[in-house]
Structure 1
Amino acid sequence: MEFKTERLLIRPFNDDDLQDVFHIYSNDTTCKYLLNDKWTHENKQKEFQRKLENNVLTKENSLSLAVVSGTKVIGDLAVWYTEMKDTVEIGYTFSQEASGKGFATEAVSSLVNKLFSEFKVHRIQANLDARNKASQRLCERIGMRKEAHFMQDYWSKGEWTDSIVYGMLSSDLN
């Protein structure tokens, strides 16, 4: 899957993206609310290899997409099917430098539209750390609704954290 938005190219990752992606995932602030720890020089090749391999969305395989501005990868979009029929979950991570410029909103809303129109999914959801206010605002900007707030339901990086579930149906786009 490859597509363009007004300012961005969204495409599968390629070998040349390693340094840009490492820059994103080696940042403490960026990784604070992610499930995984920040990347290190020792594990970056292994972590990046997963993104290269996840280049087609199937029921068995998640999809990882690079968000490119100019020639630089500024973000990462992920999509995977859940166990529920025709339901996908999305995830996204953007570099600190891309923050506040509308790139995440542009990329994620375009992805959501593609998932509904081309993949004919019934429902899209996002599960996030409740402390991640920027991610909550992004979900709301693209038309997702907050559906659940779970109290201390997830053990992450040495502490119990709350999680929030956002969701949307294709009818929410109208």
Structure 2
Amino acid sequence: MPRAALSRLMLRPFTRADAPALCAYRNDPAVARYQGWNLPYALADAEALITQMQGRTLGQDGWTQVAFADATSGKLLGDFAVRGMGQQAELGVTLAPTAQGRGLASEGLRLVLGQIFGSLGLHRVYASIDPRNQAAAALLLRAGFRHEGTTRQSYWHRGEWTDDATYGLLYSEWQAQTPQEK
């Protein structure tokens, strides 16, 4: 995957040096609460994920995880997961606690959407979240996603039946809200 950057951050492939930071934020209970991985998340798990992602690019069928990093230092701030499915993609985001509350996830999401819609030309992207994850819902709404619906108690997660809220964004909607270069 080529590097993509805005002023404060960049998307890039994971490197082996990212494993300790990836492991640390994935072990944070507040970060992991609405995510699908198991705790504890071992360093070997982070290393295995990084190995699995080597050579993958956004838009490929299946899940691709990309690092979300500080543009100056390269320090890992979080990651985006994109599951390619033909002309659609599912999106997920995880942000380290030290990177939260500074607008970095919004900037990173703009980068990811620029690749999904701009470079790859996909038709639709969606995210499926636990509706209790208010930060994720707010992030998606700020990016122009619309709440498409909530399925009640539709999946078993961390010992309970959990609701599932879906947010979607079409290419035409993204294009209408994104300033075009002249």
Give TM-score scaled by structure 2 length: 0.87
Distance 1:9 1:163, change over 3 A: same
Contact 1:80/1:90 (<8 A) preserved: yes
Aligned residue runs from structure 1 range 66-81, under 5 A: 66-69=67-70, 70-81=73-84
Aligned residue for 2:51?
52
**Equivalence for 1:103:** 104
User: Structure 1: any 5+ residue segments left out of the alignment?
Assistant: none
CA distance in 2, matches of 1:51, 1:160: 30
Between the aligned partners of 1:169 and 1:56, the Cα distance in structure 2 is 21
Residue 31 (str. 1) matches residue 32 (str. 2): yes
1:8-62 C-alpha deviation (Å, 9 max, x unpaired): 0210101111111111101001000112223433xx3134322332232354342
Do the aligned residues in 2 keep the contact of 1:148 with 1:165 (CA within 8 Å)? yes
Match of residue 10 from structure 1: 11
- Would you say the 8 A contact 1:56–1:62 is kept in 2? no
Deviation at 1:131, TM superposition (A): 0.8
**Moved segments of 4+, more than 6 Å:** none
Paired AA for residue 81 in structure 1: G
RMSD: 1.5
Letter in 1 for 2:18: D
Structure 2 unaligned regions, length at least 5: 177-182
Percent of aligned pairs sharing the same letter: 28
Rounded Cα–Cα distance in structure 1 between residues aligned with 2:82 and 2:91: 5
Amino acid at match of 2:13: P
Verify the 8 A CA contact 1:26 1:40 in the aligned structure 2: yes
Distance 1:52 1:5 in 2: 26
Aligned to 2:180: none
- The normalised TM-score by structure 1 is 0.91
Structure 1 residues 26 and 168, CA gap change in structure 2 (3 angstroms): same
Counterpart in 2 of 1:152?
153
Distance 1:170 1:40 in 2: 35
| Partner Cα separation in structure 2 for residue 150 and residue 127 of structure 1 | 10
Distance 2:134 2:88 in 1: 24
How many residues were matched structurally?
170
Deviations 1:49-108 (A, max 9, x none): 2233223235434221111112320111111123xx401001110011111100000001
